[in-house]
Amino acid sequence: MRTAEARGAHLTPEEILGCVFPEGEGAVPVPLHLATCPPCQVRVTRLRDAHLIDKGAVAGAVEALPEVFWNAQAAAVMQAVHEEPANNVRPFPASLRQTIVRRPVLAFGSLAAALLLMTGLSFLRPSQRQQVAEVPVPTPVASATNAHDDELLLAIDDALAEELPFSNMYPEGV
């Protein structure tokens, strides 16, 4: 793009804005035309004035706020912060929340798989319960056998009590 100087005309709006709001860093080269053209100087000065007024107005408005305002603001923040820990209990740990946000497909896929598994298990369980119910419970047959054994043990005890010790070990006729 040809500059105003090259064209021998006044500064373009772009060049005026460039003088007041340079895009780059550091010192901005001033167009030579500006030094010799009072109308262009006025245009640049007006925009610069407007910017400085605006900037000063913003800074002044903030500086003019009383200390009470800042104290009240800090107090409001602290009140909210004190109420925060009780409400800050989250159902899931941060790592899980991050996983859900960063890899939603993986997270919700895993959730869907887990739900499917649980649903499958819940369908399987009732049939297993029926199978268990159908298994015959062993009858308490041991009670009769136990009585018979008790009688036998008592008879042995009686026989042992009546016999002398080692008497049956002696030879006949001794």
Partner 1 sequence: MKGDVKTPAEQQTSRERDHEVVLKVQAGDVEAFEALVKSHQKRIFRLVYTLLRDATEADCVTQDVFIKAFKALKDFKGEAAFESWITRITINTVRDRVRRRKPVVSFSEMGNADDDDTGGLPRHLDPADGTSPERDAMSRDIRRRLTDALASLSPRQRAVFVMKHYEEKTIPEIGTETGLDEGTIKSHLFRAGRKLRALLEDLR
Residues in touch with partner 1 (CB under 8 A) = 13-14, 16-18, 21, 23, 25, 43, 46-47, 49-62, 64-65, 69-70, 73-74, 76-78, 80-82, 84-85, 88, 94
What does the alpha-carbon distance between residue 2 and residue 11 come to, in Å, rounded to a whole number? 11
Can you list the alpha helix ranges (DSSP code H) found in the chain? 4-7, 13-20, 32-36, 38-63, 67-87, 94-102, 104-134, 142-162
Of residues 59 and 124, the one with the C-beta less far from partner 1: 59
Of residues 52 and 152, the one with the C-beta less far from partner 1: 52
**Are 39 and 9 contacting, i.e. CB atoms less than 8 angstroms apart?**
no
Whole-number minimum distance, CB 112 to partner 1, in Å?
Answer: 28
What does the alpha-carbon distance between residue 74 and residue 71 come to, in Å, rounded to a whole number? 5
Whole-number minimum distance, CB 4 to partner 1, in Å?
Answer: 14
Of residues 54 and 163, the one with the C-beta less far from partner 1: 54
